[in-house]
Copies of this chain bind each other. A is one copy, B any other.
């Protein structure tokens, strides 16, 4: 039986049509007309399955709601897009969103004290406990994206005009979180190896103190940054921050969910992770975990009292704006979680895969790796100015020749048109796919007669 993505989607969509017939019916059962409709849907489904079995070319399912193309990127291709790799859903997560897509689907059994993280059916409360344990912190909340975690922390510890220490490789959402809270970012410069060190952080703190007369109120550093995915000395940096009595936020957008993270061992006051970036979850989703000490502050409950009605909503947390992910995003996070926990234990294999790929790329003369090497992360920035860009310089499609050649082999996710510096991730690809990926680059190089050094 051959692979036929279109028909798989056609079958899924047809089943949703059948489901709609059931939804439209009374609880007491379908009427005659509905039974006929259901029968028709199932008969059409059987036709689709027959086409699958006989290898008939599938009619593409029409656009969703008339305007949205069906996305088959993960079915039809090897996707090396650097930020999409670890946010790909697991099978369980895909089943979860089918079952829990409706708006407030998590809230069927919401009882006193009426807060998302207290719901026990589905087991949301238990998931929150596990999530805190997973990053070895005392308490955790789900948030709509890592950025909302940065925001909550910044608004808790940053007053107008305060300085916040970030990395020279800080993600833009850290800038925005600080700006939103009225603070100012102060970047720690990179060393010659493009690493943020504890010493450089200490120096920066001293400099800020000298220039502004005040210590920064937060140090927020990415364990692995988004540009090169180099590892930065978060443990040393946390120690430095604490020596000035400044809280440390560990940005685990590229670590929580792909490799083991131990917040206490790092010395983090806050651990932030991204569901859609690294936890095989739909966007927006993420986690903010903290210590018992800081939980009272960042998860502080509302103190506001209605002046007329005297209403209070005491259990609701100000920085969370109450409940956070009240639907399928949370359930998908939960559904992916067992697999996500397991996969962090096999990070070493992911490192082998990226190094295998990079080593193969480096055999194409003139290719370089800009990230630290050997790689310690699946996300990697390479420089092919000395190899593929030489072809781009003379090719009528310019840099797009490479995208064309890759996509002809079913590889997508590189920055289309870029042949100088660009990023990729091999995260989650099977060894078979990694070899295919490396072979494809070699084949393209050979096709264009780029010199290759035998390994």
Contact partners of A179 in chain B: CB under 8 A: 302-304, 318
Partner of A304, one of B5, B15, B185, B334: B185
* CB of A276 within 8 Å of the partner chain: yes
Is the beta-carbon distance between A176 and B95 smaller than 8 angstroms?
no
A187 to B410 alpha-carbon distance, docked (Å): 59
Partner of A53, one of B30, B42, B76: B42
Partner of A22, one of B5, B86, B147, B186: B5
Contact partners of A65 in chain B: CB under 8 A: 92, 96, 334-339
Is the beta-carbon distance between A15 and B22 smaller than 8 angstroms?
no
Contact partners of A334 in chain B: CB under 8 A: 65, 67-68
Is the beta-carbon distance between B306 and A168 smaller than 8 angstroms?
yes
* CB of A393 within 8 Å of the partner chain: no
Is the beta-carbon distance between A316 and B176 smaller than 8 angstroms?
yes
Is the beta-carbon distance between B95 and A64 smaller than 8 angstroms?
yes
A96 to B65 alpha-carbon distance, docked (Å): 9
A433 to B328 alpha-carbon distance, docked (Å): 26
Is the beta-carbon distance between A49 and B38 smaller than 8 angstroms?
no
Partner of A27, one of B12, B76, B186: B76
Is the beta-carbon distance between B3 and A175 smaller than 8 angstroms?
no
Segment from A101-109, A133-141, A371-379 that makes contact with B? A101-109
A95 in contact with B325 given A123-B67, A338-B66 (CB within 8 Å): no
Contact partners of A284 in chain B: CB under 8 A: 144, 284, 324-327, 329
A324 to B283 alpha-carbon distance, docked (Å): 9
Contact partners of A8 in chain B: CB under 8 A: 15, 18-19, 22
Is the beta-carbon distance between B49 and A68 smaller than 8 angstroms?
no
* CB of A395 within 8 Å of the partner chain: no
Segment from A77-85, A228-236, A261-269, A361-369 that makes contact with B? A77-85
A335 in contact with B13 given A22-B5, A176-B313, A187-B307 (CB within 8 Å): no
Is the beta-carbon distance between B71 and A100 smaller than 8 angstroms?
yes
A80 to chain B, nearest CB (A): 12
A283 to B78 alpha-carbon distance, docked (Å): 30
Partner of A326, one of B92, B151, B187, B276: B276
* CB of A209 within 8 Å of the partner chain: no
* CB of A25 within 8 Å of the partner chain: yes
A281 to B65 alpha-carbon distance, docked (Å): 14
Is the beta-carbon distance between B103 and A277 smaller than 8 angstroms?
yes
For the complex of A and B, 7 pairs with smallest distance between CB atoms:
A87-B103, A27-B410, A283-B327, A103-B276, A144-B144, A187-B308, A65-B92
